[in-house]
Structure 1
Amino acid sequence: MRAGFPIARPGMTVGLLGGSFDPAHEGHVQITEEALRRFGLDRIWWLVSPGNPLKPHGPAPLAERIARARRIMRNPRVEITGIEAGLGTRMTRDTLVALQRLYPGVHFVWLMGADNLVQFDRWDRWQDIAARVPIGVIARPGWQMPARFSRAARMLWRARLPETQARRLARAMPPAWVMINLPLNKLSSSAIRAGAGQGDEKGRS
């Protein structure tokens, strides 16, 4: 295993939550702890994205975002990583290929908000992502219906498991996905950045 990379044994279930985390906040903590519990995961890794240095209003430096994330996310079952910078990957599909090669026998689950499911069909090689790992969708208030009727959801409707079977997801054969519903939490990174006078950033692909 590469130095500085998380440790995971074959047979473990690991959720992957990617994003800029610019900045990390209690909303991220909430969805992470709910995903740990309701999907029955052994670990969750936050994949703090490297960001694009060419963007004039890009995210804060990676080390700064990781340090803040580690201060706010105290659960010992959650690893805060800059693993994509170490792998040299930017697209989700390429990250998954590299992780599955590095961690044979580990059951990965890709975690995303329902807002990302709405535009998932615009991600690079999104169907290959769905074919590689099960997907746990976390629906915040207001996003459940748009996500359920999104193009990706319609194309993957046969692969959807009911919320009551969420704990089966990590060991399900992909394509497989479950949507879980969360209570209201109004915090968002964009709102925090706006309060600090910083620019916004688009989601990952």
Structure 2
Amino acid sequence: MNLKTGIFSGSFNPIHIGHLALANYLCEFAELDEIWFMVSPHNPLKEEGNLLADHKRLELVELAIEGYPRFHASDFEFQLPRPSYTVHTLEKLKESYPEREFHLIIGSDNWSLFSLWKDSEQIITGTPILIYPRPGFSIDEKQLPEGVSLVSAPLLDVSSTFIREAISTGKDIRYFLPPAVYKMIVSEGLYK
């Protein structure tokens, strides 16, 4: 039997309790065997701004998920040609790990733009997609194509942008982050 592996891609700049609670929910209630946190490399076409270096964000993900065996931090996309497109990542994952059945995890905000993604139809027909709710982006389940499903995960309105802005203004937001992640951000003066 193939392992059902959820691919949760993002910049994770930084990873926070919203990401972890969602992934935990998907493992326990959406019948995924494991979740790979696919840290997206910096897109050279985009403004870097306050995006931490790829390996620093990966390190924060590793700290955040330590001790939960169903979570895995992945730098898979770091090795792929840039810019990285989801369709190419999924093709390479399937080649590299034929014993796994990959499921793409995206927010309802991304689903509303999904038709603009490179080869979106190929993704839909080739990979099961799990959509989680995001504030302000409701979805009519009856309109979803086969292989695409809405998960009724709790709505946690926490964003990495909020975290970075709060830290940059000196707010103590330790309970929005896993303790090891908060400790590293403070000790290294990240996002200041």
TM-score over 0.5 for the alignment?
yes
Match of residue 133, structure 1, among 108, 112, 127: 127
Q: Deviations over 1:147-181 (max 9, x none)?
A: 338xxx84xx341xxxxxxxxxxxxxxxx011012
TM-score normalised by length of structure 2: 0.78
Instruction: Tell me by how many angstroms 1:71 deviates.
Output: 1.6
Q: Distance in 2 between matches of 1:158 and 1:67?
A: 36
Aligned-residue sequence identity (percent) comes to 28
Q: After TM superposition, which residue ranges in structure 1, 4 or more long, deviate above 6 angstroms? A: none
Report SS of the residue matched to 2:2.
coil
Q: Distance in 1 between matches of 2:43 and 2:97?
A: 27
Report SS of the residue matched to 1:136.
strand
Structure 2 spans left out of the alignment, 5+ residues: 170-192
Does the 8 Å CA contact 2:22/2:154 hold for their aligned counterparts? Answer: no
Aligned to 1:63: 55
Q: Distance in 1 between matches of 2:12 and 2:136?
A: 22
Aligned to 1:100: 94
Aligned to 1:196: 167
TM-score normalised by length of structure 1: 0.73
1:88 aligns with 2:59: no
Does the 8 Å CA contact 2:133/2:155 hold for their aligned counterparts? Answer: no
Match of residue 23, structure 1, among 14, 29, 46: 14
Aligned to 1:76: 69
Change (3 A) 1:39 1:57: same
Instruction: Tell me by how many angstroms 1:103 deviates.
Output: 1.3
Does the 8 Å CA contact 1:140/1:183 hold for their aligned counterparts? Answer: no
Q: Distance in 1 between matches of 2:101 and 2:125?
A: 13
Q: Distance in 1 between matches of 2:98 and 2:61?
A: 27
